[in-house]
Structure formats: structure tokens, C-alpha cells
Structure 1
Amino acid sequence: MKDDDKQRPWYREPWPWVLIAIPAAAVIWSIFLIIVSFNYQVSMVEDDYYDEGMGINRELSRDVEAASLGLTAEVDASAGKHLDITLNSEQQRNWDKLKIELLHPTLGDRDQSVTAQRTGAGQYRARIDELSEGRWYLDIRNADNEWRLKGELELPREEPLVLKPIREARANDRPG
């Protein structure tokens, strides 16, 4: 008998190992991805998304209130270390403080929540950490959280940003 006629054991053949390697590689890659996902959690994902979604309806009432007061704001971020806000209203009310949130779209560790103090009639100033260039979401509310103005701030910016109540709030505010 020749050696070629003898059948080699299966583990000495290359094809069974190729077929075993494909699912083994998938299992190893899955384990790697699970380890990475637990070690590097993304801050943008909300684990209470249902509660966040239900809160949208409560938030819209604040937009309606801002529209009914006829509020607009001019936000000047050109100074770097502070925001200057000019708040205009049809009824020209002066609130002592404003709550301001500056939210970075992708990096949650750069978000800032500050309080703006009144410096004059309709004038407010808030100290902030220096903002990086790019887009920022801006949310301004009074201290009692009765109304809000929202917008996007693109930096660098020379002229003030004008914030108005959102259109949906104005449409909901009209009678009939």
C-alpha cells in the first residue's frame, strides 16, 4: 500500500480547520465588542428614553409661555468667558436670574449649566468656561422654569444670536 492511499486523520486536513475558524473568529470578535462596549459607554444614549419622550409635552408648555410673553433674546458669546444676554418682552418683565444650559452635540463632558444675573433692564450676564469652536445648543429659562428659549449657537460668531420661541409654540398659542 502506498502512503497516498492511506487516509489522513481529519485534524491533519486544512478544510475542517478553516470551517472551524470562521465561527470561532465571530465568537472572539463578539467577546471583544462586548468588552469594549462595557468599558467605553456612550454618554449620548439615554437609558430612560421613555421618560425623556414623555417630558417633551411638559417642555412644550414652556415654549408656549415664551411665545405668549413675546420673548426674544439676543445672546452675545464673543467675549469668551461670559455670555451677555438681552431679553426683550412685549410686557418687559425683569427676572432676577436666568438659567442657561450650553450643550455640546457630541461631547457631554463639555456641557455647562450656569446662572445669568441681571445687570440692567433686560440685560443679563453669565460666567462660562471658554467654549470650543463648533455648534452648541443653547437653552435659556427663567429661575422658576415657566418659559424657555432654545437655539443653536455656531462659534466663532461676531454678531449676537437672536432666539425666538419655536414656531410650533406660536401655532399652539393662537386661539381657535
Structure 2
Amino acid sequence: MTIQHDIEHPWYRQFWPWFLILLPATAVVASIYTMIIAAHGADDLVVDDYYKNGLAINRQLTRQQEAKTMGISATLQTEGRDVSIRIPERFSFAQLRLRLSHPMEADRDMTLALHRVAPGIYQSKLPQAISGQWIWTVDVGDGSRWRLDGENRF
């Protein structure tokens, strides 16, 4: 039995060598593409220091309880890029701090200073229009004894 070689066509003009090369090459390209997707779409959900975050959560809960004890409540409203907070009129602050946090994308979070425009009404403008679910936090600023939290769909 003799093996007959195809002298007319070299190996690189045959179908099977290219088919066998294409299979692992496709896997390499797909893995590189997957790594690119993972690097650009990384979640911000994992934190490095769980203990410090746990202590901060306890401080936040204390501040929320203080707002409840004082009788402070708030309603957040948006219209286009205008955002306003309504609190009971008996509380008078020069301005409030509003932090809007996106649940999944930390790079979209923003902090705004809300200025009093009427008794119990504080307003500001958003840098850009927002949509979807957002978590908001209102307080007077650093060192504030109280804090209000909420969640809105815009």
C-alpha cells in the first residue's frame, strides 16, 4: 500500500489544515473579546474593606433614626433637569445636600446642593437628565446629625 501525495496542491491550499487551524483560532479571538467586555463592563459591587463599610452602615442607620425622631421627611420630585425636595416647613436650612446614586454604575453618581426657594422647598438643576431607578440621600452636609434615604424611578 502506498500513500499518494497530491503534488499539484501544497498543504496551504487544502481545506482540512485551515479548518483545523480555524477552530482554536476562533476560541482565542472569542476569549480576547470576552476579556475586553469584562474589563469595560466591570461591576462596582465588590468592596475591599467590609469591616469599615459595616461601621459606616451603622452610623447611617443612627442618622436615619435621628431624622425619624426629629420628624423630618422628604419627597423628591424631578421635572426634566429640575429636581426639588419638599420637607416639613418647620425645618429651615440654608441648603441641603442631595446625593443620587445609580444602583449599578458608580460613575453615574452625583452630589447636588439644593437651595431653598420657599419654606420647605429646595431646588437644583441636574447636570443631565436621568432615567431609571436611583437611590437618593438628603442631609445638611458633613457632620449632619440626620439623614434621609429613598428610592425613585425617574
Per the normalisation by structure 1, the TM-score is 0.61
Which sits farther off after the overlay, 131-140 or 55-64? 131-140
Alpha carbons 2:45, 2:104 under 8 Å: kept: no
Alignment of 1:128-143 (within 5 A): 128-143=126-141
Match of 1:112 among 110, 119, 128: 110
Deviations 1:38-94 (A, max 9, x none): 6x372513433412122111111101110011111122212x2221111117xx221
**Structure 1: unaligned runs, 5 residues or longer:** 4-21, 156-176
For the residues of structure 2 that align with 1:131 and 1:105, how far apart are their CA atoms?
17
The residue identity in structure 2 corresponding to 1:42 is A
- Over the matched positions of the two proteins, sequence identity in percent amounts to 28
**Structure 2: unaligned runs, 5 residues or longer:** 3-23
For the residues of structure 2 that align with 1:28 and 1:53, how far apart are their CA atoms?
42
The residue identity in structure 2 corresponding to 1:118 is R
Q: Which residue of 2 aligns with 1:174?
A: none
SS in structure 2 at match of 1:88: coil
- Coordinate RMSD, CA, aligned: 3.0
How many positions carry a matched residue from both structures? Answer: 135
Looking at both structures, which has the greater relative contact order when contacts are Cα pairs under 8 Å and sequence separation is at least 6?
1
The residue identity in structure 1 corresponding to 2:45 is V
Q: Which residue of 1 aligns with 2:87?
A: 87
For the residues of structure 1 that align with 2:126 and 2:37, how far apart are their CA atoms?
34
For the residues of structure 2 that align with 1:75 and 1:35, how far apart are their CA atoms?
38
For the residues of structure 1 that align with 2:77 and 2:32, how far apart are their CA atoms?
49
Question: Which runs of structure 1 show a deviation greater than 3 angstroms over 4 or more consecutive aligned residues?
Answer: 26-38
Q: Which residue of 2 aligns with 1:59?
A: 60
Q: Which residue of 1 aligns with 2:123?
A: 125
The residue identity in structure 2 corresponding to 1:55 is A
How many Å apart are 1:149 and its aligned residue? 1.0
